[in-house]
Amino acid sequence: MQAKQEKLFLGVCMGLLTLLAGVLLMMNTDLDIRAAGGPGVPAPGGQGWHLLDPVSYENLTIFPVVSTQQSDTSDFSTLDEALASGDVVVTEQGDYLRRTREGSAQTMPPRPGAQVNQLVLINRGKRPLILLAGEVVSGGKQDRVIGKDRIVPIGAPPLPLDVFCVEHGRWTGPSDKFAAAKMMAHPSVREKVAVEQDQTQVWAAVRGEASMSSSVEVQSQAAGSVPAKAPPISSGSLDRVIASEAPTQSYKKIYESRAVGTSIENFAEQIQRRFDRATSGLKGERVVGVVVAFGGEVAWSDAFASSQLFEIYWPKLLRSYVIEALTRHATRENASFDDARDFLHPATGHFREETEPGVYRWRESNAGKVAQIELEALAPKPMTLHWLKVLRAN
């Protein structure tokens, strides 16, 4: 009798253990799916992102991306702050100075003369430097934008830096050095820089030609409906600004001009007020990025490893989205929450990668009209510093 009871007890225990093992296996499988960006966590690297309700004004809709997870990004510096502090020097190719470990200036051997699509960057600060495609630097012989996301490590030799010109018509300047413009090229230009890598298309986009051709098409209106308004910043208005206030087609001067600058700032203030209301009172979550729609089309996303990094880039990102919205037709259509959420899912398709061992990894994925770029820091620990997704115009 006792033997039977012991046998029954052992059978029950084995059954419970088997059940427990099955539950643990299911949990582990679910964690693997979520970390890979499956349902519920549609983000690379298992960041745990999700969307808040949208913020809308005119034809621009912004969905805040929030997360409970934060990476420590304090070990990195950004271009604007490093240029302002003097920790980073950007100059035309040619004679330039490099700081030695003792802090004295050392003349470097002369290089070939200045080139439109290449500058020299020296990081003499104490932190690795983050560069994002589309960041504007002003000065030198022409204003330029950074050509690709990357990280410049501490103590790196002078770096030949790939850039694109956003000032067609000037090739002179009192100094070969560049200053922070505190601007990000708007999406129509930034796409041509980061994805298309084409100087001719960049110049066309600066003038508004690319954004005009890629604007949301105005579909035939039903009887009694209100037709879409013309873009507040048209190619014609850009031409007038260029002729009167920015004859060299300086990107910075165009968008700081009286003719279009006021519209940009008023629009940005409207979005910022709504954004502050929508993101106030968060508990245990912080804003790390945005998904952006123009009219009914979800077209862009910028997200970062930390809210700290997002807050640094947000002022110039916001104005870049506003400029894009002002160059597109104003429509009454708004993008859906589901479309914005789907846009956060990682892109699949043609894939390419570039790596600087021990510093960073850059990945690009292209699938149809969608392009995705990730900048992953490899030190002091692996983290996706910046995630960009674009609905391509072409």
Instruction: Read off the amino acid at residue 259.
Output: A
Residue 21 lies in a domain: no
Burial string for 346-374 (b: 16+ CB within 10 Å, else e) reads bbeeeeeeeeeeebbbbbbbbeeebbbbb
Residue 296 lies in a domain: yes
Alpha-carbon distance 275 to 316, whole Å? 15
The answer to whether 116 and 142 have CB atoms below 8 angstroms apart is: yes
Alpha-carbon distance 79 to 63, whole Å? 26
Instruction: Read off the amino acid at residue 174.
Output: P
- The H helix count followed by the E strand count for the chain is 10, 20
Adjacent-strand bridge partners of 71: none
Adjacent-strand bridge partners of 131: 150
Under the phi-then-psi rule, with left for phi > 0, alpha for psi from -120 to 50, and beta for the rest, what region is 118? Answer: beta
What's residue 165's pLDDT?
84
Residue 256 lies in a domain: yes
Alpha-carbon distance 261 to 37, whole Å? 40
Please count the other Cβ atoms lying within 10 Å of the Cβ belonging to residue 28: 10
Give the chain's residues under pLDDT 50.
Answer: 23-43, 45-46, 95, 97-114, 210-227
pTM, rounded to two decimals: 0.79
The answer to whether 201 and 100 have CB atoms below 8 angstroms apart is: no
**What range does the domain containing 356 cover?**
45-97+113-213+230-391
Output DSSP code: residue 141: S
Q: How many domains does the chain have?
A: 1
Residue 30 lies in a domain: no
Residue 207 lies in a domain: yes
- Which residue, 243, 248, 241, is CA-closest to 138? 248
Alpha-carbon distance 147 to 121, whole Å? 13
What's residue 39's pLDDT?
33
What's residue 300's pLDDT?
97
Alpha-carbon distance 288 to 65, whole Å? 6
What's residue 87's pLDDT?
96
What's residue 128's pLDDT?
98
The answer to whether 49 and 387 have CB atoms below 8 angstroms apart is: no
Alpha-carbon distance 384 to 206, whole Å? 29
What's residue 16's pLDDT?
55
ω into 382 cis (within 30 of 0):
no
Pairing of the two strands 77-78 and 129-131? parallel
pLDDT tens column, 143-166: 889 999 999 999 999 999 999 987
What's residue 117's pLDDT?
80
Alpha-carbon distance 271 to 259, whole Å? 20
Residue 36 lies in a domain: no
How far is CA 257 from its chain centroid?
A: 25
Residue 372 lies in a domain: yes
Residue 105 lies in a domain: no
What's residue 337's pLDDT?
95
Alpha-carbon distance 340 to 320, whole Å? 19
Question: What CA–CA distances, in Å, run from 376 to 211, 349, 364, 385?
Answer: 30, 19, 11, 6
